[in-house]
Structure formats: C-alpha cells, structure tokens
Amino acid sequence: MGYAGSPAVAAVGPAASITALATVPWPLPAGTVVVDTRPRAVCLRRSVAGGLCLAPGMFLGPRGRLVSWRNIRWLLGTMRLTGTETAVVAGDDATADDFVAGILYIAGQGRVEVAAHPLTAWLARHPRATGSGTTRGVFREAIYTAWPRTRLIVLRRELQRLVRGGLGAYLLDGRPPGRYRGVRGTRPRGGHIPGAVSLPMDDLGPVSAAKAVPAAKTRPVIAYGARPYESVAYFARLWMLGVRARVFIGGWRDWAAHARGVAMQRKNRSTAPSHPVEVLAAASAGAALMMLIWRMMRRR
C-alpha cells in the first residue's frame, strides 16, 4: 500500500508510474477503474460500484508460484481491462495491494495508483459509492492490448551471471533481517544472495529508500523478497517511493532451490542458542551428559 510521503523522494527518480494515493478518489475520474484486492466473496458482496475483484490468489499457482504472463493478460481481459485505464488499487491489506499493483504495472497497465486508506473503512464512509463488485467472465470480454514491461523482470539465469561476474547491480533484499542473515532461513536454505543489501519491506519508507540506494544513479537496482508475492509487492513499493527497480520475481525461494555452483551467503553469527527452546534443549543435553559421566564413574 502507498505512502503519503512518497513525493518526498522524487530526487531518487522521475515521476513514478505506480503512485500512492491517500484514498480512493470519488467520484471516479473518467477512464478510471477500482481494483479491489480483498477476498472475492467480500468484494462481490460490497465494493466500490463496478469495482473489479482481483485478489492476489488469482495470479498465483501451486506453492505460491506466479502463473504465466500469458494467463495473466488473458485474466485481465476477462476482467474487461485493456491496459489503457487508470487502475486504482485498493483493499485492506497493504502487501496484497502492492502485489496486485506491481502485477498490473509489469503487465503493461498505463497508470497504476494505490490507495493507502483501507477500502472497507472507506466504503463505510461513502455509502453512495458502494455496490457489488464484478469478477472475471467465462470468456475474454476485452483484449488486453497494453505492451508488457518485460524489461523490469530479472530472470534467474541473468541474476546468476551478474553474481558470478561481480554483481554490477545494486541488489535489495526485502525480507526480515533474520531471514537475510540466515537465522530463520526460508526453505530450503537460509541466507541471502551474494552482494545483496538488507532493506526490509516492513521498514521501507521515504527516508530509508532515499538513503539506502545512493548507487541507483550509477547501477541498476534489483529487488527481491521471499517468494513471488513478496518480491512483486516489494518492487511496487520501491516504485511508489521513486526507486526505479527491476524485480527478481522468483525471490529467495527460487534462488535457493537452483543455486548450484553459485555462492550463497550467511552473516556470521554466534553458535550459541538464542531462542528459549534452543536454550532449554542445550541445557537438557548438558544435564544428560553429566548424568551419564556420573553413572560411569560410579560403576568404577
């Protein structure tokens, strides 16, 4: 979801094509549609009149993988989108809003705006704007003609070549610090892509974005999260803050699963247990060892 202070980082890049709004504009300007990211049942029951029900799950397949861009563009056509509209993305979950906004922008949507205010609360204050949401049709009712922005996508092999060649890009890891350090690694491994800088999505704001990417003027910025859902959401939030990043959509899960022959990094950390359960387990193991030694000495 957007930030009211996004314009403050305009110096990081030119005017963003994914922009943050304080709230859903009403009445809607001509050529504008509302994209409701809440669960389908909630959207169909009550949304902005004529709002399009596009929950994140409609873009994701098994194990959280992103469906093909061909299928995404077909889906957008079944929602009667052509790509020329201004899409105002709104919902009750910030990450869901950012993810859908990122998908729309990469797919080629002309202009994408993200409303910061929760949609359910906005509907309660604008009863005359409410109606039933609309969902996809059985057949494609429009042709999504917008040109996809494939240049914004970094494929795994391209990123592997960059890492092997010394990483001529500024790589941002949007996962929590513990995941970045490998303390609580995601399956199948923990750590981070070599050369990546930790800038957690939860801490991302105008000040951190402006300070964390001074190299953006001379090197391309590549963003990634844990999985496609988090990676695309992180990418969209960076764009709203004026950071012109590309995105490694597969994220850490994809990298870790295919990182054969490519280095992986973990931050040095103490081997001493830090979690209460680990401490208890270590204490129990020590006590058992002492008991075993005492019994052996008694037998002598």
Q: Quick one: 132 and 230 in the same domain?
A: no
Q: How far is CA 216 from CA 149, 238, 244, in A?
A: 19, 12, 8
Strand order in the sheet with 18-21: 18-21, 111-115, 86-90, 32-36, 52-53
Statement to judge: residues 88 and 19 lie in one domain = yes
- Per the structure, how many domains does the chain have? 2
Q: Give the DSSP letter string of 134-185.
A: B---SS--S---PPP-GGGB--HHHHHHHHHTT--SEEEE-S-HHHHHTTTP
Mark whether 176 and 119 lie in a shared domain: no
Question: What is the per-residue pLDDT across 142-157, written as a single tens digit (0 to 9) for each?
Answer: 789 999 999 999 999 9
Residues 130 and 179 placed together within one structural domain of the fold: no
Instruction: Out of 126, 148, 170, pick the residue that ends a domain.
Output: 148
Question: Is 166 a member of any domain?
Answer: yes
Same domain, 113 and 40: yes
Measure the CA–CA gap between 68 and 172, rounded to whole angstroms.
24
Q: Confirm whether 269 is domain-assigned.
A: no
The SS3 assignment for 250 reads: coil
CB atoms within 10 A of CB 168: 11
Q: Where are the alpha helices (DSSP H) in the chain?
A: 40-45, 69-78, 94-107, 119-125, 156-164, 177-181, 206-212, 228-240, 251-257, 276-299
CATH number for the domain spanning 222: value is 3.40.250.10
Tokens at 186, concatenated: 């995601």
Note whether 73 and 198 are same-domain residues: no
Residue 39 pLDDT > 80, yes or no? Answer: yes
**Measured CA angle at 109 (ends 107, 110), to 5 deg:** 145
Both 80 and 159 in one domain: the answer is no
45 falls within a domain: yes
What percent helix, strand, coil does the chain show, rounded to 5?
45, 15, 40
pLDDT attached to residue 210: 76
- With respect to residue 290, please indicate whether it lies within any of the assigned structural domains: no
Domain range enclosing 207: 153-257
Asked whether residue 18 falls in the same domain as residue 79, the answer is: yes
Q: Which pLDDT band holds residue 276 (cuts at 50, 70, 90)? A: very low
In a domain, 279, yes or no: no
**Per-residue pLDDT, 242:** 87
- Condensed to tens digits (0 to 9), the pLDDT of residues 178-193 reads 999 987 544 557 799 9
For residues 34 and 52, give the distance between their C-alpha atoms in angstroms, rounded to a whole number.
Answer: 6
User: In this structure, are 107 and 184 located in the same domain?
Assistant: no
Tens digits of residue pLDDT in 91-135: 999 999 999 999 999 999 989 999 999 999 999 999 999 999 999
In a domain, 268, yes or no: no
pLDDT at 4 over 50: no
Cα–Cα distance measured from residue 217 to residue 214, given in angstroms and rounded to the nearest whole number: 7
235 and 201 in a common domain: yes
Q: Looking at the domain assignment, is residue 278 inside a domain?
A: no
105 and 239 Cβ atoms separated by less than 8 Å: yes
Contact at 8 Å (CB) between 265 and 194? yes
Report phi then psi at 223, rounded to 5: -115, 145
Final residue of a structural domain among 148, 168, 184: 148
Query: Are residues 107 and 175 located together in one domain of the fold?
Result: no
Residues 25 and 142 in one domain: yes
pLDDT in tens, 191-222: 999 989 999 999 888 877 776 666 666 788 99
Angle formed by the axes of helices 94-107 and 69-78, nearest 10°: 100
Verdict on whether the full-model pTM lies above 0.75? yes
